[in-house]
C-alpha cells in the first residue's frame, strides 16, 4: 500500500466515523436515555409523551400498598392541582418542571422538593395523619410565584383502595 492509498483510506474511515455523530438525534430513545441518565426528561414534550403525560399524573397505587405521585410544576401551578394520598404509607414523589426552578413544599411539614426543568426530582414522603395540606412553591419562579399553591388531601388509609383510579388523583371527586 502506498502513501496515497493509505491517506484515502484514513480520510474515508474518519468520515465514516463522523456520520453517526451528526445523526445523534436518530439514535433510538432507550439508548439516548441511558446515555443521558434515567432522570433526564425533555421539558418541552412533557405533555406529549413519556411518564408525565396528563393521564399518567396524580396518584397511583403500587402492589405493596405504597403510592407513586407524579406531578409537573410550571409557572404558576402544580399539576394535578389537588392530589390525594393515603395516610401512613410511603409516598414516592416524582416531579419535574416545565419551565423554571420551583420548590414544592407542604405546609405543616419539613418536606421541600426542588424541581428543575430537564430532570426528575424524586422524594420519599409519608403523611401520618389524614388532613388537608397547602402545597406552596418556595422558590422564586417569576411574577406569579406568590400565587403558586395547590392542595394535598391525605385520606384515611383504608378509604384509599376503595376509590376508583380516576378519583385518586383528583380531589374534585371527593
Q: Which stretch binds ligand CUA (CB under 6 A): 21-29, 64-72, 123-131, 140-148?
A: 140-148
The answer to whether the beta carbons of residues 151 and 59 sit under 8 Å apart is no
Enumerate residues 6+ apart whose C-beta is below 8 A from 60: 67, 68, 69, 70, 165, 168
Residue 156: φ, ψ to 5°? -55, 145
Enumerate residues 6+ apart whose C-beta is below 8 A from 149: 134, 135, 136, 137
Note whether 139 binds ligand CUA by CB under 6 A. Answer: yes
Q: Which stretch binds ligand CUA (CB under 6 A): 15-23, 57-65, 127-135, 136-144?
A: 136-144
Q: How far is the CB of 116 from ligand CUA (least distance, A)?
A: 11
Site mask for ligand CUA (CB under 6 A), range 69-108, x = bound: -------x-------------------------x------
- Contact with ligand CUA (CB under 6 A) among 57, 69, 137, 171: 137
Half-sphere exposure of 155 (CA within 13 A, CB side): 19
- Contact with ligand CUA (CB under 6 A) among 57, 91, 93, 141: 141
- Contact with ligand CUA (CB under 6 A) among 126, 145, 149, 153: 145
The dihedral region occupied by 20, where left means phi > 0, alpha psi between -120 and 50, and beta the remainder, is alpha
Amino acid at each position: 500500500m502506498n502513501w496515497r492509498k493509505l491517506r484515502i483510506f484514513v480520510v474515508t474511515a474518519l468520515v465514516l466515523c463522523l456520520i453517526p455523530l451528526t445523526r445523534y438525534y436518530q439514535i433510538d430513545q432507550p439508548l439516548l436515555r441511558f446515555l443521558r441518565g434515567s432522570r433526564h426528561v425533555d421539558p418541552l414534550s412533557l405533555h406529549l409523551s413519556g411518564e408525565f403525560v396528563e393521564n399518567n399524573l396524580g396518584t397511583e397505587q403500587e402492589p405493596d400498598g405504597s403510592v407513586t405521585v407524579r406531578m409537573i410544576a410550571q409557572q404558576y401551578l402544580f399539576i394535578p392541582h389537588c392530589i390525594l394520598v393515603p395516610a401512613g404509607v410511603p409516598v414516592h414523589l416524582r416531579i419535574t418542571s416545565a419551565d423554571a426552578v420551583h420548590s414544592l413544599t407542604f405546609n405543616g411539614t419539613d418536606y421541600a422538593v426542588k424541581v428543575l426543568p430537564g430532570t426528575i426530582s424524586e422524594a420519599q414522603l409519608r403523611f401520618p395523619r389524614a388532613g388537608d395540606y397547602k402545597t406552596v412553591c418556595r422558590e422564586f419562579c417569576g411574577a406569579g410565584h406568590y400565587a403558586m399553591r395547590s392542595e394535598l388531601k391525605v385520606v384515611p388509609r383504608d378509604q384509599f383502595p376503595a376509590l376508583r383510579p380516576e378519583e385518586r388523583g383528583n380531589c374534585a371527586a371527593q
